[in-house]
Amino acid sequence: MNIILGFWLEDPHPVKVLSMPFDKLMLAYVIVTAVAAITAVITLLTIRRQVEAMREQLQQMKAAGEQTNSLITTARDQVAALSIAAEATKQSAEAAALNAEALINSERAWILVEIGEIPNFQPNPNKLEILWIRPMVRNYGKTVARIKKIRSVVRLVPDGETLPPQPEYPLGQGADVQGVDLVLAPNIAIQPIKLGISGDEFTQIRQTKKFLYVHGFIEYLDLSNSERRTAFCHYYALQGGYSPDPTRFYLELTAPPGYNDCT
């Protein structure tokens, strides 16, 4: 036998649905959090783009640096090449100047002064006698010279003394030729200088109490109108001892600077 049980609920309990009340503070928090997150993302993207830009700039700077180094190396090589070229040009110019000077010197006028031997002078102590010294002025060049000034003196140096450090030309003594225009052709000699020594002075020279020097200078123009100058100094040497050199005037090579030079 089957038994069926049934239950009837005539008045069941109602079900209540619970809902959270609306919270404005929570909404604000959510919105702020979302904005902050979006801002962080945007900032991150911006930083990433800046990093990429900086990397690109670094690459460009590196490339520019390499290019700059290449330019510096090229410039250094060019400077070195220019320096070599400049030195070569300088040497060529100096060589050309030397060649030109050598050509000019080979063709220009050259005035030199000689004295050499003098007459056999035997002074009489009872008379006033003068020995005249006439130096020979000769043009040894290939072109004419125009003499403008001549100055020359006799200097008697006592035994034990020497010539002054610089040539001295006392006013009114010796030969003083100025304001002239003497044309001297090549291989021609003239005697425009005339210097006198008394018999008493020459006796002291022969007794070696004094030593005789003749020095001076000549200023002249060459063919190109360049100013030239010849300074000369000669010493009267007496033959003595075993020396084979005769008594005469010789070029004084030991004179101080300024006594012998040519320009």
Structural domain spans, the chain = 23-107, 111-262
DSSP 99-168: HHHHHHHHHS--EEEE----------TTS--EEEE--EEEE-SSS-EEEEEEEEEEEEEETT----SS--
Given this model, what pLDDT does residue 16 score?
53
Please report which helix (H) or strand (E) contains residue 77, including its range.
helix 24-107
CATH level 3 topology of 111-262: Immunoglobulin-like (2.60.40)
Q: What is the per-residue pLDDT across 113-158, written as a single tens digit (0 to 9) for each? A: 999 888 888 998 888 899 999 999 999 999 999 999 999 999 999 9
* pLDDT, averaged in runs of 10, over the chain (263 residues): 47 51 62 77 80 79 77 83 85 80 84 92 89 96 96 96 95 93 96 95 94 98 95 94 88 95 93
Q: What is the per-residue pLDDT across 151-189, written as a single tens digit (0 to 9) for each? A: 999 999 999 999 999 999 999 999 999 999 999 999 999
